[in-house]
Amino acid sequence: MAQMKLIMKNWDSYLSELKIEKKQAPITWAQLDLITKAAALKAQGKLDKEREGELMRQMGDVGGDLIAALITDMVPFAATAKTVGVAIGKLWGTYAQEPDKVTADNPVLAAFNLSDGFQELIDDRLEGEFIKEKIPEIEQMAQSAPNTPIPNMDEVIKQWLADRKIGNSTGNTVHNIAAGE
């Protein structure tokens, strides 16, 4: 009987894990690079139908609605940035701490956004350090690993916390930091 309860508990846990959707951007750094360049052209009034069509062909199976939304979201960052990496870094710096509902309709912005749950659990000082430390890395990703899918920042911060020395220990998790352990 006890064994059956254990099996059922494990099964319930497994089903709960299946329900959790990981945020992952459906595009690579190189594709975001193309979108950022298109956004810069749009900001300058130079994104015509021909260039837009070429972008759609280069983006392959990424949906047109997502591309259009990203171009619009990127215009403020791409218009003034000297490089694509800087524009992406600014985008991430802007959306990292936004409430989840702000980025929910855009899977790329959602991947850059730290989940509200993490923001509640992690000290604001640590969150700020993470963003400050990671922006230069984010700025380089489009050039150093262009065909890599854009990672979920929730997963990146989990690894960052585990590697970071906090309270004379490493191997930290969101749980033990939130609990003050």
The string of pLDDT tens digits covering residues 16-71 is 433 334 445 578 888 888 888 888 888 888 888 888 888 877 777 677 777 788 88
Q: Are 135 and 51 in contact (CB under 8 A)?
A: no
Query: What range does the domain containing 120 cover?
Result: 25-178
Residue 112's Cβ-count burial label (10 Å; 0-12, 13-18, 19+) is buried
User: CB under 8 Å to 170, separation ≥6 — which residues?
Assistant: 162, 163, 164
In a domain, 97, yes or no: yes
In a domain, 73, yes or no: yes
In a domain, 10, yes or no: no
Average confidence score pLDDT of the chain: 74
State residue 14's pLDDT score.
41
In a domain, 102, yes or no: yes
The string of pLDDT tens digits covering residues 56-99 is 777 776 777 777 888 888 888 887 777 777 787 788 788 888 89
